[in-house]
């Protein structure tokens, strides 16, 4: 029988683990969705593991039945800031929805002071800017899902990609050179960032505005120290019905939703 819950927690991020703990502490039934069985381990030490999470893709066709089977009445979206597909799908259900998102790093004063750090709006602009200079040595830290965009561009620069160890084989299957893969779990501390960039003689680093949890402050610190060009893909803008950036905001919404 499906795990009955009140809250669909869109998970897979470290933030979602924190939200799950808060829900458990308040005895609010929940079930998290993640993209892989490995990500289910986030919720290992919480009640009802492994039934407190679901690994797999949800689509417009499969979601309605899934929501009914699990008796979902509310949604808390704590997915990665760039997981726009699942966020859009959740918003479209018209169920009570709350976006819990890690605070963004304020880039404006950093960019103003350090011209080698540049904010970019789209994927196309990101790669165009990266390849605007010839003979670049480029480190990609935007994850496995972005590698298919790089494959047609491999001949235009020397590329390295930092991905999760579990992404090694899929990355090779896409056609990325295995000797140019750096297998590592984020976040990476600033000293390691500087060492990697310096050792590989990196000219340009591509990353996403994933906030503190994604290691953006460490990349900024390394870019400033080494004067390496850092191109940062800005977060996509979605029309979230409600959004909070703190535990206090989350607790206020839970109190309103589940008044005893």
39 and 54 housed in the same domain: yes
Single out the residue of 250, 233, 232 nearest to residue 242, CA to CA.
Answer: 250
- Assess if residue 191 is contained within a domain: yes
122 and 86 housed in the same domain: no
- Residues with Cβ within 8 Å of residue 173, at least 6 apart in sequence: none
Cα separation, 79 vs 235, whole angstroms: 13
Give, in order, the Cα–Cα distances in Å from 1 to each of 23, 67, 117, 138, 237. 22, 14, 51, 49, 37
191 and 122 housed in the same domain: yes
Classified as helix, coil or strand, 15 is helix
Give 242-257 as a 3 state SS string.
Answer: CEECCHHHHHHHHHHH
Q: How many structural domains comprise the chain?
A: 2
Tell me which DSSP letter residue 234 carries: P
Q: What does the pLDDT read at residue 63?
A: 96
- Residues with Cβ within 8 Å of residue 258, at least 6 apart in sequence: 6, 26, 28
126 and 98 housed in the same domain: no
Q: What does the pLDDT read at residue 214?
A: 80
Residue segments in the chain with a per-residue pLDDT below the cut of 50: 1
226 and 133 housed in the same domain: yes
245 and 178 housed in the same domain: no
- The answer to whether the beta carbons of residues 9 and 79 sit under 8 Å apart is no
138 and 209 housed in the same domain: yes
What's the whole-model pTM score? 0.86
Q: Is 186 left (phi over 0), alpha (psi -120 to 50) or beta?
A: beta
In degrees and rounded to multiples of 5, residue 92 shows phi and psi of: -70, -15
- The answer to whether the beta carbons of residues 19 and 245 sit under 8 Å apart is no
Strands (E), 109-227: 117-120, 137-140, 158-163, 181-183, 204-208
Per-residue pLDDT reduced to its tens digit, 49-96: 888 899 998 999 999 999 999 999 999 999 988 999 999 999 999 999
Q: What does the pLDDT read at residue 2?
A: 56
Q: What does the pLDDT read at residue 259?
A: 76
Q: What does the pLDDT read at residue 3?
A: 56
Q: What does the pLDDT read at residue 134?
A: 84
- Assess if residue 1 is contained within a domain: no
57 and 170 housed in the same domain: no
Which residue, chain included where needed, has tokens 């808390």?
76
122 and 162 housed in the same domain: yes
Q: What does the pLDDT read at residue 4?
A: 57
Q: What does the pLDDT read at residue 128?
A: 95
Encoded tokens for 110: 């950093």
DSSP per-residue codes, 109-124? HHHHH-TTEEEESSHH
Domain interval for residue 133: 108-233
Cα separation, 221 vs 87, whole angstroms: 31
Q: Is the peptide bond before 7 cis (omega within 30 degrees of 0)?
A: no
Per-residue pLDDT reduced to its tens digit, 91-126: 999 999 999 987 788 899 999 999 999 999 999 999
- Assess if residue 196 is contained within a domain: yes
Encoded tokens for 168: 């090694």
Q: What does the pLDDT read at residue 1?
A: 45
């Amino acid at each position: 029988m499906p795990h009955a819950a009140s809250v669909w927690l869109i998970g897979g991020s470290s933030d979602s683990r924190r939200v799950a703990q808060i829900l458990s502490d308040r005895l609010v039934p929940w079930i998290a969705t993640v993209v892989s069985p490995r990500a289910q381990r986030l919720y290992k030490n919480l009640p009802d593991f492994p039934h407190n999470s679901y690994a797999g893709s949800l689509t417009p066709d499969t979601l309605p039945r899934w929501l009914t089977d699990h008796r979902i009445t509310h949604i808390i979206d704590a997915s990665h800031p760039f997981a726009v597909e699942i966020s859009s799908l959740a918003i479209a259900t018209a169920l009570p929805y709350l976006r819990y998102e890690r605070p963004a790093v304020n880039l404006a004063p950093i960019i103003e002071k350090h011209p080698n750090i540049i904010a970019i709006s789209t994927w196309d602009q990101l790669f165009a800017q990266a390849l605007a200079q010839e003979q670049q040595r480029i480190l990609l830290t935007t994850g496995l899902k972005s590698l298919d965009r790089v494959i047609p561009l491999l001949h235009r620069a020397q590329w390295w990609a930092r991905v999760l160890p579990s992404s090694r084989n899929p990355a090779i299957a896409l056609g990325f050179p295995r000797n140019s893969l750096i297998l590592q779990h984020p976040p990476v501390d600033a000293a390691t960032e500087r060492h990697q960039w310096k050792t590989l003689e990196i000219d340009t680093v591509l990353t996403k505005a994933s906030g503190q949890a994604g290691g953006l402050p460490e990349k900024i610190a390394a870019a400033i120290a080494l004067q390496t060009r850092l191109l940062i893909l800005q977060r996509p803008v979605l029309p979230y019905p409600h959004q909070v950036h703190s535990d206090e905001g989350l607790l206020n919404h839970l109190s309103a939703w589940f008044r005893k």
